[in-house]
Each structure stands twice: as structure tokens, then as C-alpha cells.
Chains A and B, each alone.
Chain A
């Protein structure tokens, strides 16, 4: 099977709508097909990967820890847009430490989050063969 460049574009905050969770489900399914998968987090999508999410107060399942498992599925390119963070009063320090293990480098943990500016995000989007929007 040929490999294609897939990008999942995440633009919505988690919990208020089901988009974030649905995206994550499809991302995990896509991992089984060994495609070149990357994720983009921009606009309100950046709230999906904030650290310290606590859903006890709203009675919904906290699925934020699932993002930490993406590295184990060879999903190691999570593009995050700087401007989207800034507009929301956030910094990269507010995001979870998401990593993948490099088997060619003694399983060293490497960061999955790639901080890009808006123009760079546009370039990454333009390179994709398949884009799925959530």
C-alpha cells in the first residue's frame, strides 16, 4: 500500500463539542494504516493539548492523556501555531510534554510538538495529500 501524507487539522476546543474526541479516534485508526500522519493544532484547537486538564467538574471523560500515546503509534509530528497560542494568552509551557521514542537513537524521547508560525503552518498544510478537518 502506498504511503500518503495525511494531516488532521484540529481547530476546536475539547469538551464543548465532540470534534476533538472524534479527531483523536480517527487519528488512532489511521495509525493502523501506516501512513505519514501529522496533526495541526491551530485556533481553538490548541486547547486540546493544554496540560492539567481536569474534567471532574463537568462529568465528561478526560481524554487528554490519549495525546501522550500518539508517539507509540508513530505519530510524532504535532504542529502547533504560535499565533493561536498568543491570541489566547497561552505559551508553549501551557502545553503537555508530548514525546515519541526514537528507536534509532536508543529510544531517546524526543518532542512531538513542533511550534510553527502561521506562514509555516500554511506551508505544512500545502504539502499534504490528504487533509481531514475537525
Chain B
């Protein structure tokens, strides 16, 4: 049962992102939206933790949230996919269940 995990909090401010990574199963997908989008770029104190999760999980970011915070997609960690709102909807359909880490 693949699950889509939706995270909307910055990993530098709350523990919810970390908790999500600690509970997500191999094969699950993780979508970063709102303030969580800041985790998508390379070279942060959270990058290593996210890369570790990416070995067996797919990671996505809502591109609009990245751009709003002045971060360009060419700075994203290799392997992260940027999606728009339509892509967000597709992810919810592709996965059997979703969980929001508020």
C-alpha cells in the first residue's frame, strides 16, 4: 500500500518533516509543499537526511512554493521532482492513501 506523505512545515523549524521521514515506508512518496519546499535545495543541514530517504522513496516538491521563496529548481537535490498543482492531484490519485504531516 503505497502512501503519499504531504509535508508543509520547514524542517528547520518543526520536527514534523523529520518525523515523516522516520515513519515513511520504502516505496512511499513524499511531497513537500508550502514551507517544507525549502528542504528541496542542495547543501542544507537537512540534505543528508532527505537523501537517505530518497534511496527507497520518491520525493516531490510543489514548484510554485519553491519559486515563491526565491529558490530555483536548478538548486534542487538530484532526484527530486518538481510538480505543479495538477501533479499534486496526480500523486494523490496514484497513491492508495495520503497522510499529512502538519
Contacts and interface: CB of A to CB of B under 8 A. Distances in A.
Interface of A: 11-17, 43-44, 47, 50-58, 60, 62, 64, 87-89, 94
B42 A15 contact: no
B26 to A, nearest CB: 27
B102 to A, nearest CB: 12
* Interface of chain A, main secondary structure: loop
Contacts of B12: 43-44, 87-88
Interface stretch (B15-23, B33-41, B52-60, B90-98): B33-41
Contacts of B68: 14-15, 53-55, 57-58, 60, 62
Interface string B44-58: 110100000000000
Given A12-B13, A43-B12, A44-B13, A57 B63 contact: yes
Contact of A89 (B47, B72, B84): B47
A58 B69 CA distance: 11
Given A12-B13, A16-B10, A44-B12, A55 B43 contact: no
Interface of B: 8-10, 12-13, 34-35, 38, 41-45, 47, 62-65, 67-72, 75, 84
B67 A57 contact: yes
Contact of B65 (A15, A17, A89): A15
Contacts of A50: 69-71
Q: Which 6 A-B pairs have the closest CB atoms?
A: A57-B64, A50-B70, A16-B35, A89-B43, A89-B44, A16-B34
A94 B68 CA distance: 14
Contact of B69 (A11, A15, A17): A15
28 contacts: A13-B13, A13-B35, A15-B65, A16-B65, A43-B13, A44-B10, A44-B12, A44-B38, A47-B69, A50-B69, A50-B71, A51-B70, A53-B69, A53-B70, A55-B67, A57-B62, A57-B63, A57-B64, A58-B65, A58-B68, A60-B68, A87-B12, A88-B12, A88-B41, A88-B45, A89-B42, A89-B44, A94-B70
